[in-house]
C-alpha cells in the first residue's frame, strides 16, 4: 500500500492471500488491524503525492501542430478528474484527516457522559383553585321566609339610598331609620292625669 496499491490489487498478485481472507484476519486479529491501519496511512500519503504530481504536470497543456499552438483543454479536464477522484477516495477512506471537517487526532478520546445533580428540586405544579360553591344562608331563629324577604329588600333599599362615598357609621344610619319609623307609625299616648291628694289639716287634740 505504501506504493499506491489498494487491497484488491495486492491480493490479485501471485502468492498473496485472497481478499476475503484478509478481511477475516482484520476481524479476528487486533494486531493485524493496527498494521493495516498504518498501511492505509501510507497509502493516503502516496495519494497526496500523486495529486501534486498530476497538478504540476503541464506536459499536455499545449499542443503544437505545425505552426499552430493549441490549448489542451481535454488534458486539463482529464487531470482535474483524476485529482477530484483521488481526493474523494481519500476523504472516504480517512475522513478524520482528509474529509471536509478534519479532526485532530490528539483531541479525540473517550466520551464521558455524567449526570449533574441539581441543587433545586423540580418545580411543583400549583394546585388548581378551589371551586366556590354557593350555600344558602340559614334563616335566623324566629324569622319566616316572608320576614327574611322583607329584611333583604330593606337592606337593598339602604344600599341604594346611602351614597357610596358616605362615611356614616351603621349606628347613625340605623338611628335615622328608627326615627323615621317612629315618626310615621308611632301614636302619641294621652297624657296621664295627675291626681293631687289634698293635704289635710291636723286636727285638734
Residue ranges and CATH numbers for the domains of the chain are: 7-103 (1.10.10.60)
Burial class, 170, CB count within 10 angstroms (exposed 0-12 / middle 13-18 / buried 19+): exposed
pLDDT for 103 equals: 63
pLDDT for res 166: 80
Residue where the block lists cell 478481511: 23
Average pLDDT by stretches of 10, the chain with 205 residues = 81 87 87 86 86 82 71 81 87 77 62 62 77 69 77 82 80 83 70 55 52
What is the predicted pLDDT for the residue at 90?
Answer: 84
Give residue 203's pLDDT.
52
Q: Return the pLDDT at 59.
A: 78
Burial of 136 (0-12, 13-18, 19+ CB in 10 A): exposed
For residue 121, the model assigns a pLDDT of 67
**CA–CA separation, 25 vs 41, rounded Å?**
19
Amino acid at each position: 500500500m505504501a506504493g499506491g496499491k489498494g487491497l484488491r490489487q495486492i491480493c490479485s498478485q501471485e502468492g498473496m492471500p485472497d481478499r476475503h481472507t484478509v478481511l477475516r484476519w482484520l476481524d479476528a486479529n487486533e494486531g493485524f488491524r493496527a498494521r493495516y491501519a498504518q498501511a492505509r496511512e501510507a497509502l493516503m500519503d502516496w495519494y497526496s503525492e500523486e495529486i501534486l504530481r498530476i497538478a504540476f504536470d503541464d506536459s499536455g497543456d499545449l499542443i503544437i501542430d505545425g505552426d499552430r499552438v493549441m490549448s489542451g483543454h481535454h488534458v486539463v479536464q482529464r487531470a482535474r478528474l483524476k485529482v477530484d477522484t483521488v481526493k474523494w477516495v481519500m476523504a472516504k477512506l480517512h475522513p478524520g484527516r482528509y474529509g471536509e471537517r478534519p479532526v485532530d487526532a490528539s483531541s479525540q478520546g473517550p466520551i464521558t457522559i455524567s449526570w449533574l445533580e441539581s441543587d433545586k428540586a423540580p418545580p411543583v405544579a400549583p394546585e388548581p383553585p378551589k371551586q366556590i360553591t354557593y350555600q344558602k344562608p340559614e334563616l335566623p331563629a324566629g324569622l319566616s321566609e316572608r320576614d327574611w324577604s322583607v329584611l333583604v329588600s330593606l337592606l337593598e333599599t339602604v344600599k341604594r339610598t346611602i351614597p357610596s362615598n358616605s362615611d356614616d357609621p351603621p349606628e347613625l344610619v340605623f338611628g335615622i331609620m328608627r326615627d323615621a319609623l317612629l315618626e310615621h307609625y308611632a301614636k302619641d299616648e294621652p297624657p296621664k292625669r295627675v291626681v293631687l291628694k289634698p293635704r289635710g289639716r291636723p286636727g285638734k287634740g
